[in-house]
Structures are given as structure tokens and as C-alpha cells.
Amino acid sequence: MNKIRALSMRIFLQLLHDWRTLAIMFVLPLILITLIWLVLKGTDDTVKIGVVDAPKVLTQMLEKDENIEIKRYGTWENAQVALDKEDVIAIVKVTGFADGTFTDPNVGVRFDIMLDGTKGSRSVSIEKLLKTASDSMVLQALQKQSEEPFADEAVTPDPNADALQVDLSPYLSVQVSYLDDIRDIETFDVWGATLIGFVSFFIVFLLAGMTFLKERRSGTLEKLLSTPIRRQEIVFGYICGFGVVTILQSIIISLYVIKVLGITMNGSIIDIVIIMIVSTVCPLTLGMLLSTAANSEFQMIQFIPIVIVPQLFFSGLFNLSFGWELFGRLFPLTYTADALNKVLLRGDGLSACLLDLLVLLIFSTLFVSLNIRLLEKRRNI
Amino acid sequence: MDAISLKNVHISFGKAQILKGVSLSVMPGGIYGLLGPSGSGKTTTVKIIVGILKASVGEVVVLEEIMPSFVAMKSIGYMAQENALYEDLTGQQNLEFFGAMYGLSGKNLENRIKQSLNFIDLSGEAKKLVSKYSGGMKRRLALAAAILHAPKVLILDEPTVGIDPVLRRSIWRGLYKIAQTGTAILITTHVMDEAEKCQRLAMMREGRIIGEGTPEELKAHYGCFSIEDVFLRLSTEKDEARR
């Protein structure tokens, strides 16, 4: 244990004296993730929504958001043409509503919403936004009604109550449809989770691999192997030393992505940090393993297109056929992305990701034991 | 009892046979020189003694342990041809790390580091990063890392390469002192005048020992005035024998 502690302490001290590596560890991922975020978010923040027969209450409510621009169309057909030409991202038609109240309270109001499915998460968030707007519009109308003497006494919503507490279904029907619906493939958040996992994977892999390779190239590994340290102590010392740093990195990346960039986050931030930490053990052990196998820095670089790049393609960025999806399960990143998505998007707890985390740990264990075996090539005991 | 004993050691990497029956024995308390041109198998021999490599054939015993053995490795000090230092650590941190690898800790480790730094005269520079050291300072620190745990067997692979004559002399003086404490020192070199300073010598060529004895014995036996002549004589004899 003392040797493992001394070894991890040494790695930690080495990193402290090496500001370049520190920058790569902590600053580079944030820069890369910000770039990815900027690219995927798109440059134009204004969202155009086409409306047909929309009451003033609704358009005013929507226009409160500076990024939303309302375009009015005379007929549903014209609006659809505009949607097709991508002039607008969504179109809404409201029937059964005039002058801030229902035309016929017994029928209620009907919302027809059609969205451009190719805009990924933006379409999804606009759909949410329109639904919220329709809810509050109907709520307001109901409140107004209840203040009047001939109000339907069945509904007296408390103005402070949460909208969800009131059953609006008798008064509101919302029909949502998508034009060219491919939103399942391309939502920003799905990309986001995979890419965050990838950035962290790539950087930890490179650093662990390069440091271990440097140990060999500088002759210090041989010196180390001439001491009575056991091979597994070397590997675990490295994991512990780098582990401290990657835990820090995981926390920083998670906080940055969630608090600063504001990625869709429905789960718990602690779960995200735990997933990130477990995920970094994989590139750490894989990086060391491959640098043990590599004979030079150049060979280490050659491993990148072979080992790292395919992970990006097969870990959930694209909709794959069943066979390729099975192939993707050979890559650790697939499980990282899956677990992150579960917590970020679906708001699941850690218990839903246990299998993913388990598979990641199995990968790591495999890499570690292979590495201990391969080190035998360097010393026969 | 010999501190190091090799009997008929063979080793090959793939098809290349590097050692073809090396036998030698080193007594405690002396400096034993392994002399030979580069590529003769000195470093391979040394790595087998240290425990990094394992002989394919033959018996290697260090401190009464059959190598490779973790027990013996605790009492072996090894200074490789490369400096094998962590450049992004200070001299002190390097020694602390290697000390811990030999199981030293606490006050004991502190004292040993102080003694070793004094021995190589680097106490003043211990807090500096190794990357700021000169070549000679790095070599001395590597020596300190090898003697830190007061090994009973000290293996030095070309320790004075790239070191100026003044420093070389002071290192040799230090080595004699260490040997006087009963440590067995094995040193490889291809510098002939260094070979003369050893108490015993083995001459290596193409994976074999071609001559062994004290420098005086060797010179007298072959009727030469210097070790260099002995070596050249032995080398040509071998070549003729092969033809």
C-alpha cells in the first residue's frame, strides 16, 4: 500500500509541476465542450413561430421572450408552406377562442401545433413552450370566468396554484404533429452527452497513455522495475494518482456543462459526477494498456484512429442498424453516453445506470489485468 | 559466499542469442568491472543480475536468492545507463519516491536521503527541479537514487559516461568508500583506464566472457602493459580461433 501511495503521490506532484498537462486536463475539455455546444446550439437564437387565428393573449405571451418572433398567416395551408420552406420552426392554429375567453365553454379551445422535426432539441423545446403557453392561456380564461357571476362553479382555480394541479383537459385539446420527424436522431442533448463523454475519454486516454509511455522512454520504468515493486502496484499506483486528477476533472466538467452551459438536466448533478468518475477509469486503464503495448509515441498516436475515433461513431451519435449497434456495445463510450443520457434527459437516478457502470468497470478490470500481464514483457517477475 | 554468482547464463530475444554462457562471481566488498564494447551483452548481463530480465538457461544467484527474487531486489541498488530520473520533480522528491519503492519511510528515509545527497555533494540543489540540473548533476542524483537504501549489491551500468574527469574521480573515490562497507559493486564500462581501477575484471565480447582476473593478473598473463592491449589481444585471438 505504501508503494501505491508513493507512486500516486509522485504522479500528482509531477502534474503539479507541469502546467501544460494541467491545462490539457482542466481547461481543454471546457474549451472543446464549449465549442461543441456553440456549434450544436446554432448561431441564430431567434425562433420564428407562425400563427393562424391566434388570440392576442397568446402572441403577447410568446413575444415576451425576446428570441421569439411571431409571423401571422391567413390560412393553415399558407402556414404549412412557410413551415415547409423553413421560414418558421413551428406553426400554431387556435380555434374556439376569442376576446380572451372561450367561444363556447362547453367545447373548449383547440390548439393545432405543427413543428419542424429537423431542428432537433429546438423543436422539442418549442413544443414544450407552446404547450405551456396554451395551458396558461386557458388557465387565465378560466380565472376570468370564475370571477364572473355565471361562472361554472365546478372550476374555481386558485390563481396561485400550480397549473398542473388543475385538470385542463375539458377545456383544452392540443394536437401536435411533426413535419419530417427525425427529432429522435439529432437532439442536441443526446449529442451533447456523448460528446462530453468523448472529450473526457479522449483527454484522459492521451494523458495516461503519454505519461506511462514517458515513464518507459525515460528509463524510469526500468529503474522502477529494478525495485521490489510489484507489477500490479505500478498499475494501481497510476490509477490512484491519475484518479485524483480525473475526479477533479469530472466534477469541473459536470458543473460547467450543467451550471454554465445549461444543458438539459433532469437528474441529479451528483449522479452525473459519479458517472463521469466511473467513466474516466476506462480511458485511464486503456491508455496505460496501449502505451505498454506500444513501442513508441508514434505507435501510441496510431492507436487514436483505431481505438478512439470509432467510439464516437458507434456510441449513440447516429441511429445505427441493429448489427452496428451491437458492434457499438464493444466500446466503453457507448455505456458512458447511455448512462449520461438517462440522467440528463430522462431524469433517471443512478439505479437505472447500474448496468452501464458495471460494464464500464468490467472493461476497466479487463484493461488492468491485461496491463499487468503485458508488463511481464518488461520484467519477468 | 559470493554476493553475485552467474553460472552458464544464456539469454535470447527471439532468434538473437545475446548471452552465450556467461559465468562470473563477485565477492562482497570489492569493485568488479565488466569491460566490453557496446553490444557485447554487458547491459543484458546487468539486467539479469538486477532481476529485470530472466535467464533462458543457467543459474543466477544474488545474495543467496535465485533471481529474479523480490527479497534480493530489496538489497540491490541499480543505476541504469539512462539517468532514469523524473525531470518534473525536484531532486529531493525523486529520492523520496525511490526510497519509498524500497520500503523506506519516515525518519529513516529522511536520514538516508540526507546522507546520500551529502555523499554526491548535491545537498544544496535538492529543492531544484531535475530538469534544471546539469548532465553531471543528474548522473550524481541517479547514483544517489541507487545507494539510497544502503544496498548490499550495487550495480552501475556505465556510471561515468559523459562526466568530466574531476567528477569521475570523486565518484570513484565514493565507490571505494561504499565497497569498504562490504557492498559488492559491479560496474560496466567501455573505458579502459576505468577498468584498471577495478579490483577484478571480466572482459566481455559477443555475449561471452573472454577473460577474467585482477587487472595485474590479466596484464601479466598476456604480457601486456595495459588493459586495452589485453582486450585487443583477446579479441583478435577469438577472431583467429573462429577462422
Say which range, A88-97, A143-152, A159-168, B125-134, has the weakest mean pLDDT.
Answer: A159-168
Asked if A213 and B43 count as a contact pair (C-beta separation under 8 A), the reply is: no
Q: How confident is the model at residue A194 (pLDDT cuts 50, 70, 90)?
A: confident
Distance, in Å, from the CA atom of B89 to the CA atom of B126, rounded to the nearest integer, reads 10
In a domain, B105, yes or no: yes
Query: How much is the pLDDT for A42?
Result: 57
The three three-digit cell numbers of residue A79, written as one number: 402556414
User: Model ipTM?
Assistant: 0.90
Output the CA torsion sign for B227, B233, B234, B235. Answer: positive
Q: How far apart are the first and last CA of chain B?
A: 40
Distance, in Å, from the CA atom of A157 to the CA atom of A141, rounded to the nearest integer, reads 11
Task: Pinpoint the alpha helices (H) of A256-308.
Answer: 269-293, 297-303
Strand order in the sheet with B65-66: B16-26, B4-13, B57-62, B65-66
More confident residue, A141 or B150: B150
Average pLDDT on A345-350 reads 81
User: Is 80 exceeded by the pLDDT of residue A125?
Assistant: no
**Residue for grid cell 541504469:** B80
Asked if A25 and A203 count as a contact pair (C-beta separation under 8 A), the reply is: yes
Query: How much is the pLDDT for A40?
Result: 73
Asked if B203 and B234 count as a contact pair (C-beta separation under 8 A), the reply is: yes
Query: How much is the pLDDT for A121?
Result: 63
Q: CATH no. for residue B175?
A: 3.40.50.300
Tell whether B88 is within 8 A of chain A (Cβ): yes
Considering only CB atoms, B89 lies closest to which of A17, A228, A379, namely A17
Q: How far is A254 from chain B (nearest CA, A)?
A: 30
User: Is 70 exceeded by the pLDDT of residue A120?
Assistant: no
Asked if B212 and B202 count as a contact pair (C-beta separation under 8 A), the reply is: yes
Q: For chain A, give the percent of residues with pLDDT over 70.
A: 89
Query: B117-149 burial string, b = 16+ CB within 10 Å, else e?
Result: bebbebeebbeebbeebeebbbbbbbbbbbbbb
Considering only CB atoms, B83 lies closest to which of A2, A219, A379, namely A219
The three three-digit cell numbers of residue A211, written as one number: 505519461
Question: Which phi and psi (to 5°) does residue A222 adopt?
Answer: -65, -45
Tell whether A228 is within 8 A of chain B (Cβ): yes
The set of residues, in sequence order, having a beta carbon less than 8 Å from that of A142 and lying 6+ positions away, is A155, A157, A166, A168, A171
Find chain B residues with C-beta within 8 A of A6's C-beta: 96-97, 100-101
Q: Which A residues 314-373 touch B at CB under 8 Å? A: none
Q: In angstroms, how far apart are the furthest CA atoms of chain B?
A: 62
* A293-302: long-range pairs with CB below 8 Å, 24+: A293/A374, A294/A209, A294/A213, A297/A210, A297/A213, A297/A217, A300/A209, A300/A210, A300/A213
Query: How much is the pLDDT for A163?
Result: 47
Q: How confident is the model at residue A129 (pLDDT cuts 50, 70, 90)?
A: confident
Query: How much is the pLDDT for B241?
Result: 65
What Cα–Cα distance (Å) separates residue A124 from each residue in A178, A187, A259, B10? 10, 8, 21, 72
Per DSSP, the residues of A304-342 read IIIIIHHHHHHTTTS---HHHHHHHTTSHHHHHHHHHHH
Query: How much is the pLDDT for A301?
Result: 86
Tell whether B53 is within 8 A of chain A (Cβ): yes
In a domain, B232, yes or no: no
Task: Pinpoint the alpha helices (H) of A148-295.
Answer: 183-186, 188-217, 220-225, 231-255, 269-293
pLDDT of B20-76, one tens digit each?
999 999 999 999 999 988 889 999 999 999 999 999 999 999 999 999 999 999 999
Question: Which phi and psi (to 5°) does residue B53 adopt?
Answer: -110, 155
Query: How much is the pLDDT for B144?
Result: 94
SS3 A102: strand
User: Is 80 exceeded by the pLDDT of residue A161?
Assistant: no
Choose from A215, A220, A240, A376 for mutation: most chain B CBs within 10 A.
Answer: A220
Q: Are residues A381 and B88, on separate chains, in Cβ contact within 8 Å?
A: no
Q: How confident is the model at residue A38 (pLDDT cuts 50, 70, 90)?
A: confident
pLDDT of B95-134, one tens digit each?
999 999 999 999 999 999 999 999 888 999 999 999 999 9
Closest to A220 measured CA to CA, from B122, B137, B158, B80: B80
- Provide the β-strand partners of residue B78: B155
Question: Which phi and psi (to 5°) does residue A262 adopt?
Answer: 65, 45
Q: For chain A, give the percent of residues with pLDDT over 90.
A: 28
Query: How much is the pLDDT for B62?
Result: 95
What Cα–Cα distance (Å) separates residue B110 from each residue in A6, A25, A229, B94, B156? 14, 33, 20, 13, 24
Q: Which fold has domain A44-185?
A: abc type-2 transporter like fold (3.40.1710)
Name the strand (E) or helix (H) holding A114.
strand A109-116
* Cα angle value B23/B29/B33 (rounded, 5°): 45
In a domain, B225, yes or no: no
* A152-157: long-range pairs with CB below 8 Å, 24+: A152/A105
Query: How much is the pLDDT for A151?
Result: 46
Query: How much is the pLDDT for B29?
Result: 92
Q: Are residues A3 and B70, on separate chains, in Cβ contact within 8 Å?
A: no
Find chain A residues with C-beta within 8 A of B70's C-beta: 228, 230, 381
Tell whether A17 is within 8 A of chain B (Cβ): yes
Query: How much is the pLDDT for A126?
Result: 82
DSSP label at residue B129:
B
Q: Which A residues 254-283 touch B at CB under 8 Å? A: none
Kindly compute the dihedral angle of the four CA atoms of residues A377, A381, B2, B4, in this order, to the nearest 10 degrees. Answer: 20
Nearest chain A residue to B101 by CA distance is A3
Per the structure, the complete domain to which residue B196 belongs is given by 4-214
Find chain B residues with C-beta within 8 A of A2's C-beta: 100, 103, 105
pLDDT of A179-188, one tens digit each?
765 444 444 5
pLDDT of B160-188, one tens digit each?
887 788 888 888 988 999 999 999 999 99
Say which range, A36-40, A270-274, A357-361, has the weakest mean pLDDT.
Answer: A36-40
Query: How much is the pLDDT for A186?
Result: 41
Q: Are residues A379 and B96, on separate chains, in Cβ contact within 8 Å?
A: no
Say which range, A8-12, A82-86, A328-332, A352-356, has the weakest mean pLDDT.
Answer: A82-86
More confident residue, A58 or A151: A58
Tell whether A230 is within 8 A of chain B (Cβ): yes
**Residue for grid cell 387556435:** A94
Find chain B residues with C-beta within 8 A of A18's C-beta: 88
CA A83 to chain centre: 28
In a domain, B175, yes or no: yes
Q: How high is the mean pLDDT of chain B?
A: 91
Q: How far is A87 from chain B (nearest CA, A)?
A: 58
**Could you give the number of structural domains in chain B?**
1
